[in-house]
Amino acid sequence: MSVLAGLTAALSQGSVEIIDLTTPLSSETPILNLPHPFANTVGLSVSPVSNFDDAGPAWAWNDVTVGEHAGTHLDAPVHWITGKDGKSVDQIEPHRLVGPLVVIDKTAEAAADPDFLLEPEHFEQWQAEHGLFPENCWVIFRTGWAARGSDAAAFVNADDAGPHTPGVSAAGAKWLAGNASISGFGVETVGIDAGQAGSLDPMFPVHSFLLGADKYGVTSLRNVDRLPVTGATLVVAPLPIVGGTGSPSRVYALVEKGTAENGSVEKGTGEEGTVERA
């Protein structure tokens, strides 16, 4: 049996599950809001063209207006000044959008401190426990923040000092950008940087370092709590907007049945050779 035939059979038989990591996109979906005097993007609005009426008796369709960075969306390099000469969404190679998934779980830490930041030692500790990050992987930051997704105020979690959401320190972002195995970084929060990232040096370091290094971000993920730490495959499907700085995206994980509860064992090759990950 070929690899693809085996995958198709596994999906049909249910031994491989497709987990949808996408936030449903509506006019109520929380989006990033920047402080004055900066301009803000729009969320989703839908205008009917026809709905089985005189304008279209046998069909229904709508016009949709939506910001590139609304809901679950991909950040492309050209979104940030450090990557302004890099790839737009339509130029990202499809193979960079499909890859092994590694989950760094700091749910307890984020619950105790909404401004919790990942540091280089957190990534190094993960590798000490599970093996080197596999080639072309996507690092997913599990914080439990998606549980706030139905409450915009709780999701943004802002006060007079601005939003308070977990993220990555400047040193941690630089570490991620410098790891050749990583293609992208995903979060449950509204943006790939921490809520207080404007006070870091550089400002918004995940945007600055990752997008400048031809790596990508994906935000507002759901169902991250259903993912195993290793062994799953991520699929990110943005619209190929020509010149686009980002795009609302459908994001899936392919997960072998039982691994989310029981962990996984996977062989992979990192910079130092073949390693075992459990």
Catalytic residue among 79, 122, 130, 207: 79
Euclidean distance between CA atoms 203 and 215, whole angstroms: 18
Cβ neighbours of residue 162 closer than 8 Å, sequence gap 6 or more: 35, 195, 196, 198
How much is the CA Rg of the chain, to the nearest whole Å?
A: 19
Q: Is-contact 43 66, C-beta < 8 A?
A: yes
| CA distances to 19, 45, 64 from 26, in Å | 20, 8, 11
36 belongs to the catalytic site: no
DSSP 28: T
Euclidean distance between CA atoms 42 and 65, whole angstroms: 8
| CA distances to 68, 82, 143, 174, 271 from 178, in Å | 27, 14, 23, 6, 13
**Which residues form the catalytic set?**
79
